[in-house]
Amino acid sequence: MIADFNAYSYLLQHDIKPSVQRLAIVNYLYEHRTHPTADEIYEGLLDEIPTLSKTTVYNTLNLFQQQAAVLALTIDDKNVRFDIDTSDHAHFKCLNCGKVFDVPAVLNSVTSVTLEQGFLVTEKHLYLKGYCSSCNNLSK
Amino acid sequence: MIADFNAYSYLLQHDIKPSVQRLAIVNYLYEHRTHPTADEIYEGLLDEIPTLSKTTVYNTLNLFQQQAAVLALTIDDKNVRFDIDTSDHAHFKCLNCGKVFDVPAVLNSVTSVTLEQGFLVTEKHLYLKGYCSSCNNLSK
DNA sequence: TTCACTGCAAATCATTTGCAAGGCC
DNA sequence: GGCCTTGCAAATGATTTGCAGTGAA
């Protein structure tokens, strides 16, 4: 499942000094593509690292963001969600079950939006909301 | 500047019973297209309505959202911002000055994203981040 | 030894909730 | 009178901050 992913070199590639906690968080994000919250990551790692503190999870995720090793999603207005997949895609949040799905959108094509002169775009987020197939079928 | 906008009928059109507070908030949003936070709206109306409570601002904005009279933006990870313009457009947030700009994007064209069978999309948000012309020129 | 990393406890801040008082039909 | 709206105070919950202890180079 972890396949050829090397958490250690992933951190080095992003100029992040590896540690037990940092490696665990990267691996958690690599294995759980559910766009977890800081709290979900913390809870998910407690068995593995019982001494882990939530502060460390927040510190680490903030560091990862700075180094562009993860993407912070604000599709949820309650808490920030994290995605280790920084490739070109959009997100869909089901308003019923709350799950956040990856959507294979081509965000680059969105670049066609007309920006004023001198605006420099460094980040693009396309958030879709509605009802996923499971929740949508229930109401039929 | 207020032109032909009628806050009273705007509320009625959205099945919202008018009140002094609700009218003031709608007018504030109509006149301040800066995507204000709940707190900014509260502060901005204190002179006009000194007895206004922040709870009422939150209650009202939540009601407006339910009735689709305003759009809630989560482009900012700190607090939710509100937009009375529900027409087709995107948003750009400057990472330096923090301002949120309207972008004349055609979100409908974004519909071309491939969604799985049975996914029902009810809301689309395109958030761009980077540096606005003022902040971008400073660094040159 | 030094300096960065960790983790506990406390602080902060946006938002919600409980509830009592006031106002409108 | 009854119900909806308002607003205060307190609660909640995510995230940050202060700071002391630990550990690795």
Per-residue pLDDT of B2-56, as tens digits, reads: 457 899 999 999 999 999 999 999 999 999 999 999 999 999 999 999 999 999 9
Examine residue A37 and state whether it is found in any structural domain, yes or no.
Answer: yes
* DSSP H/E element including A91: strand A90-94
The residue among B105 and A61 whose pLDDT is bigger is A61
Place A138 in a pLDDT band, splitting at 50, 70 and 90: low
Interface contact A123-B130, CB threshold 8 A: yes
Q: Cα–Cα distances in Å, from B130 out to A107, B16, B93?
A: 16, 37, 7
CB A52 within 8 A of CB A46: yes
Instruction: Mark whether A36 and A99 lie in a shared domain.
Output: no
Instruction: Give me the pLDDT at residue A91, please.
Output: 95
Instruction: Give me the pLDDT at residue B137, please.
Output: 72
The residue among A134 and B114 whose pLDDT is bigger is A134
The yes-or-no verdict on residue A16 having pLDDT over 80 is: yes
Pair of tokens at residue B6: 């009628």
Protein residue nearest nucleotide C17, by CA to C1': B55
CB A91 within 8 A of CB A73: yes
Instruction: Mark whether A29 and A95 lie in a shared domain.
Output: no
Q: What is the CATH number of the domain that holds B70?
A: 1.10.10.10
pLDDT tens sequence across A30-87: 999 999 999 999 999 999 999 999 999 999 999 999 999 999 999 998 999 999 999 9
Instruction: Please name the member of A103, A113, A127 whose beta carbon is closest to the beta carbon of B105.
Output: A113
Record the pTM.
0.91
Q: What is the CATH number of the domain that holds A103?
A: 3.30.1490.190
| Sequence-ordered list of residues with C-beta below 8 angstroms from that of B92, at least 6 positions apart, any chain | A115, A119, A121, B100, B101, B102, B103, B127, B128, B129, B130, B132
Instruction: Mark whether A110 and A56 lie in a shared domain.
Output: no
CB A134 within 8 A of CB A99: no
Instruction: Mark whether A55 and A35 lie in a shared domain.
Output: yes
CB A100 within 8 A of CB A91: yes
Number of separate domains in chain A:
2
Nearest CA to A127 out of B35, B83, B127 is that of B127
CB A63 within 8 A of CB A35: no
Examine residue B1 and state whether it is found in any structural domain, yes or no.
Answer: no
Tell me what the mean pLDDT of segment A8-32 comes to.
Answer: 97
The yes-or-no verdict on residue A136 having pLDDT over 90 is: no
Place B116 in a pLDDT band, splitting at 50, 70 and 90: confident
Domain extent at residue A133: 90-138
Nucleotide of closest approach to B23 (CA, C1'): D5
Examine residue A2 and state whether it is found in any structural domain, yes or no.
Answer: no
Q: In whole angstroms, what is the distance from residue B12 CA to residue B2 CA? A: 18
Examine residue B44 and state whether it is found in any structural domain, yes or no.
Answer: yes
Q: How many angstroms separate the CA of A34 from the C1' of C9? A: 31
Instruction: Mark whether B56 and B18 lie in a shared domain.
Output: yes
Q: In whole angstroms, what is the distance from residue B84 CA to residue B82 CA? A: 7
Nearest CA to A35 out of A86, A97, A84 is that of A84
Instruction: Give me the pLDDT at residue B34, please.
Output: 96
Q: What residues does A83 pair with on adjacent strands?
A: A71
Residues with CB under 7 A from strand D: A 37-39, 54-55, 58-59, 62, 78-80; B 17, 19-22, 49, 51-53, 55-56, 59-60, 77
Instruction: Mark whether B14 and B66 lie in a shared domain.
Output: yes
Instruction: Mark whether B77 and B129 lie in a shared domain.
Output: no
Domain limit, last residue, from B83, B112, B129? B83
